[in-house]
Amino acid sequence: MTWASPACSRLHPAPVDRLIVELGKLPGIGRRTAQRLAFHILRSSDEDAFALSAAIREVKEQIGLCETCFNLAEGPQCAICADPRRRRELICVVEEPQDVIPIERTGEYRGLYHVLGGALSPIDGIDPSDLKIDELVARVGEGGVEEVVVATNPTTTGEATAHHIADRLRDRVTITRLASGLPVGGDLEYADEVTLGRAFEGRRRVDA
């Protein structure tokens, strides 16, 4: 949706309109919120505004995906994969990089991760080939992995993804799924540490 209508252009100078439009492209940001953010930036000091701009440019230029688990990384590997203290026999599968954060906050999990980059959704055109599922199968095939914890979101697409992974890894490794504590239809990103901790304690084996 574009808000730079002629009426809007008469109200604000063109650079302000452009800023409002760009801010409005962010998830969960409506027109009024975009306007408030734009005017907040205008009221900020040059130092703060330019620091925000520099941070956005820096993250786009320097942050990529870990070549092993596809989590966010500043370099070939993320900090978790590079940590020799992590348990290499455990892999926790999540949909997006932001799902790693709440799991880490629980302090219950000390293994590695594998970020799929989404969940299966045929209606949206997202098939297994669009996700990092083949890469997960390859990691397990390299040996040394004893358990794969499937921590996809407890949604229809997340459950479908979990069952597909279980089918692909059948008879190769023990597959568990986060159990009690996570509400159906909720997103992992918004779960608190206690809920996630209990879910890890109660994880169950997945039968393909």
From CA 38, how far away is CA 51, in angstroms rounded?
A: 15
How is domain 6-62 classified at the CATH fold level? Answer: Helicase, Ruva Protein; domain 3 (1.10.8)
Q: For the chain, give every domain's residue range.
A: 6-62, 72-205
Nearest to 113 by CA among 138, 94, 139: 94
**Whole-structure pTM value:** 0.76
| DSSP-assigned letter for residue 33 | H
Q: What is the pLDDT of residues 141-153, one digit of tens each?
A: 999 999 999 999 8
Q: What is the pLDDT of residues 54-111, one digit of tens each?
A: 999 999 999 999 999 999 999 999 999 999 999 999 999 999 999 999 999 989 899 9
Buried b (16+ CB within 10 A) or exposed e, 135-153: bbeebbeeeebebbbbbbb
CATH 3.40.1360.10 for the 72-205 domain, yes or no: yes
From CA 43, how far away is CA 168, in angstroms rounded?
A: 54
